[in-house]
Structure 1
Amino acid sequence: MASSQVTSSQPTPDRPPRPNLVFRELRGKRSPAEFAAAVRRAAREIGERVSCDARYVGRVEAGEIRCPNYAYERVFLHMFPGRTLTDLGFAPRSSVRGRRAHPTGETGGAHEPYDTQDPQNHEMDDNYEESDVLRRAFMTGGGATVAAASLGPIGLAFDAAAAGRPVRRAGADDAYALEEAVRRIRLLDDRHGADGLYRRAAQPLRAAYALLDAGATRRTTAERLHAGAGELAISVGWLAHDSGRFDDARSHYAEALATARMTGDDALEAHAFCNTAFLARDAGRPREAVRAAQAAQRVGRNLGSPRLMSLLALREAGGWAGLADRTGCEQALARAQALYERGTSEADPEWMSFYGEAELEGLEAQCWSTLGDWCRASRHARRAAQLQDPHFTRNIALYTAELADDLARGGRPDEAAAAGMRVLDLLDQVQSSRIQAMLAATARVLLPHRRASGVSAFLERHASSPRTA
């Protein structure tokens, strides 16, 4: 693997880190955790996605991060309009670009979220315009190319396990790499969908469990590895779920649930049950969906996140809709709305960054669609597509596909065809079997309406569009 060009985010032997007193002053009386939450909220406001936590804030203030990566730069400049990076206490990017970071005795955690990492040299690339690079890689090489470039941090552990060699005991750098793999999978799925990514993502999952088997040097590292492996299992399970591999998804979610229960991790258990409920609904097992969503709510009740409980109520609503229980569905939807309106919380899980008003509307649309109320379903689906941040390309395509299907079934073929065309425009960026299946169903509904305005053009374009293998 070629060495990366890096910024000197780590202190070098001849230049100790210089504390960033300006940044510390900007934090004011807020704790590092409170300030990190503010950074994440600001990121969501501009469609960015950063995984800022108290530890990251501490590293910035200690001077370990001389210049943030581009995602953080955009967020910080949004938070403090009119200021430059140097006004915020950072070194100019030109002064750090291209310098190599030297390994230190403590390699763990010395990397910024979204920076690429060479596991042999512990080097990272800060000159990385994420969205453009990922999109180019996706367009030219497909999801597997992106995954190969983005999910490599724990590949060495996998290679050792595959070769039958013992894997060394895991350290903090392995835990970081595992957490980063989870973030990258979520990022890629948000933008491009699951197809082409699933098989590649299974490799770091195998590596994660190889690390668990090898043991960790510290108890805190072991806890991070278990949590990271569980979240990675859920992420890989979701990729299987979204690409129509329901049995694989069920297995991965069960693996995450077992990991959660083995370590007493309530947050991971709630997440695993949440995804299990969603899968059960899609797989035609609505009663199981209700039970899994209710189990998630029991374990999630003590986590202090109304937004999490809102999402779990929506999962339950989807199950009730599948059972044709309109009253149960409406009650769960009302509960989800009330919980959502309580706002965000410090306790909101990182994986829930996708859950905003657009997702709330989109999931409600799916409930009404399942109940056959096409008018109400299309109203919510339209609002979901309008509200969605441009960052979540896959979800825009999903909500618009839902809208097209609801309009088609509701007797509005011309509007359905127009919405279907918008989905087709996005399919060069998004690869999702779920979305393609929805669009195919819409096309079947529209076949008897070929003479309606725009329908014939949509059907012809859909028929000629490539399908995911």
Structure 2
Amino acid sequence: MVSTGAVPNLAFRRLRGPRSAGEFAAAVRRSAREIGEQVACDARYIGRVESGEIRCPNYAYERVFLHMFPGATLADLGFSSRETVRGRGARATAEIPDTPLPPTLHSDTDEESDVLRRVFMTSGTAAMAAASLGFGLGTAATAVPAQRPAQRRVGEAEVTAVEKAVRQIRLLDDRHGGDGLYRRAAQPLRAAYALLDEGTTTRRSTSDRLHAGAGELAISVGWLAHDSGRFEDARSHYAEALATARLAGDAALEAHAFCNASFLARDTGRPRESVRVAEAGQRAATPLGSPRLLALLALREAGGRAGLGDRSGCERALGRAHEAFGRGTRDADPEWMTFFREAELEMLEAQCWSALGDWPRAARHARRATQLQDPHFTRNLALYRAELTTDLAHAGAAAEAAATGHQVLDLLDRVQSSRIRAMLSGAVRVLGAQRGSPEVAGLLERCGEMGVQGHTAG
């Protein structure tokens, strides 16, 4: 719905010329690919711009539009300045212009899909340490590789910078997905391991925190690689984290590395490895006193067993997962497990049943996941709906699958995840056989406009 008082952007409309909104959206996507951007532009987005609902594009679209119309400014294209649109919020961060502003589900200017320009550190000694160690991301155009620090003592500021980088990467991933973050996140990872290689610490507790922080950073960067389809990179990062855990004798880090490695093995068609790695993770996690961690690792095992077609083994692992999850939270639960709520439990169980071909049962759990999901986890909003679209398509519920597919497309401007796009493409391929349905036909047409592969022209 157009915002009250919106002023139509006539300048942008003139630039479109005789092309339809869909044709112009396709031109935008082509221009994005020319400069290495990925935008989910469709006719509806163009309509929102021309109606004045979108008063200022996010940074990714800004670069694309300025590439399409060399020499033009945002004002020439009919847009308001970002400062005017943000108003008071922009003034509040004037002293720290790159501070990440929390995206909302209904904001085009604040959601900032161009996460590459964000800095991970924004205040205090951690910011100073981050700057000296290369943690600041800067802009896509000016970012430079991290420099290896000279021999130096590592203290609270440096360790805090590593830990804060981990938290910021996870926060941005929850909102935006891994595609746009991966290459920039590799920079603080290199700096963290340079500290391990060349820094010296005066306290054992500082050394332990640095090892744990570097290992968690490796897992976070590995997950970004995983989510963006760079599977060999992900495998390497997870192995690096596991080696760090073994070196430091850190069972919690070891369990986390095994957890992610099991997930990767499942996603890359190695279910037997997925089971073995999940079992190793459970052995590492048992002494830690976190039932929720054991529940997640049991779900990883269940996913691997489902991939093997082992229904009874999968059901046993699911039973252990539910039992452990039902024991509630503990102080010993790892910080990185904030995403693991009932919605994620339902989602992972849905994936088990889909792997076993029980599509109606999978759809029931995926639907439950979408109903329970916290709206702040934007990436998971898209992920769970992509899973539900797939399960409904296979279960023969074409109209509902198409409606859910539209919800996924609505989120693709905010979430850059090759994994989610691949899931939606798989659902679209299944729905292609039911294009006689008007609901399905509408989804296929919109997928074509947005460059989501899997549809069949007709």
Q: Tell me, yes or no, whether TM beats 0.5.
A: yes
1:426 aligns with 2:411: yes
Alignment match, 1:367: 352
What are the Cα deviations for residues 35-62 of structure 1, in whole angstroms up to 9, with x where unaligned? Answer: xxxxxxxxxxxxxxxxxxxxxxxxxxxx
1:351 aligns with 2:323: no
Contact 2:148 2:194 in 1 (8 A): no
1:149 CA displacement: 7.2
Q: What are the within-5 Å matches in structure 2 for residues 106-117 of structure 1?
A: none
1:166 aligns with 2:143: no
How far apart, in 2, do the equivalents of 1:391 and 1:157 lie?
30
Alignment match, 1:208: 192
Alignment match, 2:203: 218
Residues 170 and 138 (structure 1 numbering): CA distance in 2 closer, same or farther, change over 3 Å?
farther
Alignment match, 1:231: 216
Name stretches of at least 5 consecutive residues in structure 1 with no aligned partner. 1-97, 100-115, 117-122
Deviates more, 1:426-435 or 1:148-157: 148-157
1:178 CA displacement: 0.6
1:128 CA displacement: 7.6
1:146 CA displacement: 2.9
How far apart, in 1, do the equivalents of 2:411 and 2:166 lie?
25
What are the Cα deviations for residues 238-297 of structure 1, in whole angstroms up to 9, with x where unaligned? Answer: 000011111000000000000000010000000000000000000100000000000000
Alignment match, 1:413: 398
Alignment match, 2:181: 197
Alignment match, 2:16: none
Q: Which amino acid aligns with 1:366?
A: Q
Alignment match, 1:156: 132
1:452 CA displacement: 1.0
Alignment match, 2:114: 142
Contact 2:385 2:404 in 1 (8 A): yes
Contact 1:362 1:380 in 2 (8 A): yes
Contact 1:357 1:384 in 2 (8 A): yes
What are the Cα deviations for residues 302-334 of structure 1, in whole angstroms up to 9, with x where unaligned? Answer: 000111100000000000000000000000001
What are the Cα deviations for residues 183-212 of structure 1, in whole angstroms up to 9, with x where unaligned? Answer: 011111111111110000000000101111
The 3-state SS of whatever aligns with 2:114 is helix
Alignment match, 2:275: 290
Residues 218 and 149 (structure 1 numbering): CA distance in 2 closer, same or farther, change over 3 Å?
closer
Contact 1:310 1:336 in 2 (8 A): yes
Q: Which amino acid aligns with 2:363?
A: S
1:165 CA displacement: 5.6
**TM-score, L = length of structure 1:** 0.70
The 3-state SS of whatever aligns with 1:342 is coil
Deviates more, 1:285-294 or 1:139-148: 139-148
Structure 1 counterpart of 2:102, from 122, 126, 130: 130
Structure 1 counterpart of 2:378, from 359, 382, 393: 393
How far apart, in 2, do the equivalents of 1:217 and 1:375 lie?
58
Structure 2 counterpart of 1:308, from 290, 293, 300: 293
The 3-state SS of whatever aligns with 1:454 is helix
**TM-score, L = length of structure 2:** 0.71
Contact 1:147 1:201 in 2 (8 A): no
The 3-state SS of whatever aligns with 2:154 is coil
Contact 2:113 2:413 in 1 (8 A): no
Residues 447 and 313 (structure 1 numbering): CA distance in 2 closer, same or farther, change over 3 Å?
same
Alignment match, 1:448: 433
How far apart, in 2, do the equivalents of 1:434 and 1:446 lie?
19
Identity of aligned residues (%): 62
Contact 1:405 1:438 in 2 (8 A): yes
What are the Cα deviations for residues 382-423 of structure 1, in whole angstroms up to 9, with x where unaligned? Answer: 000110011111111111100000111111111111110010
The 3-state SS of whatever aligns with 1:169 is strand
Contact 2:120 2:169 in 1 (8 A): no
Residues 453 and 167 (structure 1 numbering): CA distance in 2 closer, same or farther, change over 3 Å?
farther
Q: Which amino acid aligns with 2:115?
A: G
1:129 CA displacement: 5.4
Q: Which amino acid aligns with 2:377?
A: F
Q: Which runs of 4+ in 1 moved over 4 A?
A: 135-141, 147-153, 159-165
1:467 CA displacement: 6.2
How many residues were matched structurally?
349
Alignment match, 1:184: 168
1:215 CA displacement: 2.1
How far apart, in 2, do the equivalents of 1:390 and 1:132 lie?
9
1:167 CA displacement: 4.7
Alignment match, 1:35: none
The 3-state SS of whatever aligns with 2:365 is helix
How far apart, in 2, do the equivalents of 1:191 and 1:255 lie?
26
